[in-house]
Structure 1
């Protein structure tokens, strides 16, 4: 199995343990909502596009209701099986799915946690941390392109992974997984942010989303 498939399996196992009604880090979403999102993304591109094209939003909501009504074990089987063989999400699994599965797994695990409080992350393998570096670079360049500071994301072993934005220099240090979650605007995350107070405050108030 690939790391993406491993993380998918781990996500589904966590969903089985948690049940469909627990909160996630995605505001307003339960585990069921998260499962439906993943299924639409991979199996129903006709519905997924409605997330970005307003006049198709009604169709998206209709398909969402169809899947939301399914039994929880059936939803989990669809998530676990992943996209159909002909889907680009299967053909490019390691590129398109690893970060998606990791971030949404953490969305589930951290659901209900205090976004401003301390959080002890699960321990990731060195292989997974390394594999997340590529998507981290891609995501950071997208979410921080309008950053009010020049942000350098650095690993705990002292490497600079990516620098994005303009303005006063701010450093964000943490494991690759935590940096990826931070770049997506998730909270709580275990990172250290350092720099001029005004720049750090501006960065904290800036939106980070794709």
Structure 2
């Protein structure tokens, strides 16, 4: 079973177990809101603009609420167990990070945790580098990523005011999606503050 499939199944099991009113790390969302989000991003093409842009977020929120009230929480969770038609062709490429991050959003909000294997950490590393590059371009300075499990390093950008970002790939990915994460950030104060401001949520 692929990483994205394992994360999808585990998240669906967790959502089913906790029910619709459990907390998540997504600000303002309970598990029912997250379930509706996961459903519409894979099955409602008209909801996608509001996921990508704050300008259309109200429209997407209305669609999520409509599906939640029309179908109910558990049917949305059951539907999520299989990738929807929008994301199915790119499930492994696009959903690996999205579903892992939302799985952590629910786990951590409810005092739970998962342990990834070395192979799973390696699977996340390319995704980390993609998000790091996006943030580094916004930041404009030099970034040095370091993995704490293997010691591997990856530099981005140029300049002599380097921001050092260190952690497991899983924690780096959470940090790069603007979640609380077990990472170490070092560098000049202004550079670190600019780095934090450059990160956009997923």
* TM-score, normalised relative to structure 2: 0.86
Describe the SS at the equivalent of 2:98.
helix
- Number of equivalences: 199
Cα distance, 1:91–1:199 mapped onto 2, change above 3 Å = same
Cα distance, 1:138–1:71 mapped onto 2, change above 3 Å = same
Residue 49 of structure 1 pairs with residue 49 of structure 2: yes
Distance 1:195 1:137 in 2: 19
CA shift, 1:54, in A, is 7.0
**1:174 equivalent in structure 2:** 167
Cα distance, 1:67–1:164 mapped onto 2, change above 3 Å = farther
* TM-score, normalised relative to structure 1: 0.83
After superposition, residues 35-114 of structure 1 pair within 5 angstroms as: 35-52=35-52, 59-69=59-69, 70-84=71-85, 87=86, 89-111=87-109
Residue 125 of structure 1 pairs with residue 117 of structure 2: yes
Distance 2:189 2:55 in 1: 43
Aligned residues: CA RMSD: 2.5
Unpaired segments ≥5 residues, structure 1: 114-119
Distance 1:138 1:151 in 2: 13
**Are 2:83 and 2:91, in contact at CA under 8 Å, matched by a contact in 1?**
no
Unpaired segments ≥5 residues, structure 2: none
Describe the SS at the equivalent of 1:171.
strand
Q: Which has the higher helix share?
A: 2
